[in-house]
Amino acid sequence: MKKLVIFRQLTAYLILLSISVFGQSKLNVKKEFEFAAQQYEGMLKSHSDISKFPQSTLPDGSPRNMKSGWWCSGFFGGSLWYIYQYNNEPKWKETAHKWTMAVEKEQYNTRTHDLGFMLYCPFGNGYRLTKNATYKPIMLTGAKSLSTRFDPKVGLIKSWESFKGGYKYPVIIDNMMNLEFLFWAAKESGNKDFYNLSITHADNTMKNHYRSDFSSYHVLLYGENGEVLAKKTHQGAADESAWARGQAWGLYGYTVMYRETKDKKYLDFARNIANFYLNNPNLPADKVPYWDFSKVGEERDASAAAICASALLELSTYGGKDTKIYYDSAVKMLESLSTPAYKAELGKNNHFILMHSTGHKPGNSEIDVPLVYADYYYLEGLLRYEALRTKKKLF
Ligand code: GLY
C-alpha cells in the first residue's frame, strides 16, 4: 500500500516535472498579483464600511454589497489573505485581519450551511498564514454551529430550511464545500464527530446527487429518514441539466475528500467528475463554461472556471494517467481568465478582478457580472499554480 502511494506520488512528480520543463505557460503570476493588489486597493478605498461586503455589480452598474450573514461574506477577506500570502506586505495582513474579523459574529449562525465559505475562507487562511490565536476559537464555534445542521437520521447537512413544493430537507451540491472546514475542526479539536459526519454527508451525496455520467443535480430533497423525495434545480437551467458551478463545487469537494481521507473512492469520483466537465462537448475552447452546460451561447460563468482550475491543480498532484490533462486544463482556464476577455481594466468593474460570472440566472440575479468568489478562487488557483511551478508545498 505504502509502495503504491510512493509510486503514485513519484509518477505525479515526474509528470509535473516534464510539464514545467516542456510546457511554457503564458501565465505571469507576479503580474497578476500586482494587478490584484492595485485593483483591490481601489476596492478598499471605496469600502470604508466593513459591514458592507463587496459582492458584485447591480443591473444599474453600481456596486452590490451584502451583509455578513450572506453566504459570500468571507471571500473578500480570504482574497486579501491570498494577496498577503503572495506579497508578504504587512499592510495586506492588517486589512485582511480587519475584513476577517468583520465576519466574526457569524460563528453563532446556525441558520446557514455556508459557514465553510463564510468562516474558513477568511479565518482559515488567516490562521494558516499567521497562527493568530484569536481565529481558532471563532472557527471551532462556527464548526459546532454548522454541525447542528446535520441530522444523523438523514445523514446529511441540511442546506436550506425549505424548498418549494413543501420540502423540508433540501441539500445542495454546494454543501460539499463546507466539509474542508469540518475536517480542519476535527483535527484541531480532536472531536471525531466533525470527521465522521463529513464522511457520511459525502457518501450520501455521492450515492444520491450524481447521475450515471457523473454530472450532478443541484438540489436533492430528502425525507426525515434520509429517503430521496425529489431531484431538482434552483440555479441551473433545468432539473436534469448540469449547472456549471455545481459541477465545479462537486469536483472541488471530492478532491478535498481524497486529500483529507486518502480513500481512493473519492479520488476516482473526483476524476470522473473532472472527466465529465473536461470532455463535455459544450465546454468552450477557452474552457470557461456557459453558466449551464445545456445553455450553449448564453452567458459564461467565470466563477465556475476559477473553482474548477483550483480543484484540478490539486487533483493533478494525486497521480494517475490524466494528471497532465488536469494540469494543462487548469492552466488554460487560468490563462483564459487572465486575458482582457475576462480580466477587468484597472479601476473598472467596481474594482473586482474578473468579469463575466453568473450567479443565479433563473432568479434573474447576478447575470454576466463580477462575483467576489470568482476572484477568490482565481487567486487561489494562481497560488496553487505558482506552488507547483516552483515545486513548493501546495498547502
Ligand atoms: N449557492 C452558491 C452558489 O451560487 O454557488
- Tens of pLDDT, residue by residue, the chain (395 residues): 455 445 555 555 455 544 443 457 889 999 999 999 999 999 999 999 999 999 999 999 999 999 999 999 999 999 999 999 999 999 999 999 999 999 999 999 999 999 999 999 999 999 999 999 999 999 999 999 999 999 999 999 999 999 999 999 999 999 999 999 999 999 999 999 999 999 999 999 999 999 999 999 999 999 999 999 999 999 999 999 999 999 999 999 999 999 999 999 999 999 999 999 999 999 999 999 999 999 999 999 999 999 999 999 999 999 999 999 999 999 999 999 999 999 999 999 999 999 999 999 999 999 999 999 999 999 999 999 999 999 988 88
Report the candidate in 19, 66, 106, 11 with the shortest Cα–Cα distance to residue 371.
66
Is 139 in the same domain as 171? no
Q: Best of 177, 232, 245 to mutate for ligand 1, by most ligand atoms within 8 A of CB? A: 245
Residue 391 CA to ligand 1 centre (angstroms): 33
Residues 265 and 386 occupy one common structural domain: yes
Residue 3, pLDDT score: 52
**pLDDT computed for residue 23 by the predictor:** 54
Residue 172 Cα to ligand 1 middle (Å): 9
**Together in a domain, 265 and 380:** yes
Are 125 and 226 contained in the same domain? no
CA distance 82 to 382: 10
- Check whether residue 270 and residue 395 sit in a common domain: yes
Query: Which protein residues touch ligand 1 with a CB less than 6 Å away?
Result: 174, 235, 245, 359
- The reply to whether 49 belongs to the active site is no
pLDDT of res. 1? 46
Domain stops at, among 232, 247, 281:
232
- Nearest atom in ligand 1 to the alpha carbon of residue 246 is 5
Q: Which of 70, 71, 118 to mutate to test the pocket of ligand 1 (most atoms within 8 A of CB)?
A: 71
Distance of CA 253 from the midpoint of ligand 1 (Å): 14
My answer on whether 310 and 386 are in the same domain is: yes
- Name the residue of 176, 178, 235, 372 to mutate for ligand 1: max ligand atoms within 8 A of Cβ: 235
Hey, which bits of the chain come out as E strands? 53-57, 63-66, 150-151, 156-157, 170-172, 219-222, 228-232
CB 159 within 8 A of CB 175: yes
Active-site residue, selected from the candidate residues 49, 60, 114, 322: 114
- Centroid of ligand 1 to alpha carbon of 290 (angstroms): 15
List 174, 292, 301, 375, catalytic entry: 174
Closest atom of ligand 1 relative to the 373 alpha carbon: 5
| Closest residue CA from atom 4 of ligand 1 | 359
Burial call 27-62: b when 16+ CB within 10 Å, e when fewer: bebeebbebbbebbbbbbeebeeeebbbbbbeeeee
pTM: 0.94
106 within some domain: no
Q: What is the pLDDT of residue 22?
A: 41
Q: From atom 1 of ligand 1, which residue's Cα is the shortest distance away?
A: 174
Residue 248 lies in a domain: no
Number of structural domains (the chain) is 3
- In the reported structure, the alpha carbon of residue 245 is separated from the centroid of ligand 1 by a whole-number distance in angstroms of 7
Residues 272 and 355 in one domain: yes
Indicate if 137 and 154 belong to the same structural domain. no
In a domain, 83, yes or no: yes
Residue 6 domain-assigned?
no
Of 232, 248, 278, which closes a domain? 232
Give the integer Cα–Cα distance in Å for 256 and 124: 15
How many angstroms is it from 373 CA to the middle of ligand 1?
10
132 and 156 within one domain: no
Looking at residue 393, what is its pLDDT? 84
> In terms of domains, do 75 and 156 share one?
no
Q: Which of 36, 33, 37, 73 is nearest to 54 (CA)?
A: 73
Q: Which domain holds residue 361?
A: 19-48+261-395
Which pLDDT score is estimated for 395? 80
114 tagged catalytic: yes
Ligand 1 atom nearest to 245, measured from its CA: 5
Position in ligand 1 atom list of the atom nearest CA 360: 4
Q: Is residue 284 situated within a structural domain?
A: yes
Classify residue 245: in a domain, yes or no.
Answer: no
The answer to whether residues 171 and 222 belong to one domain is yes
Same domain, 144 and 154: no
Q: Angle, to 10 degrees, between the axis of helix 244-261 and the axis of helix 264-278?
A: 160
- Per the domain annotation, does 249 fall within a domain? no
Q: Which atom of ligand 1 is nearest to the CA of 249?
A: 5
Ligand 1 centre from 393 Cα, in Å?
29
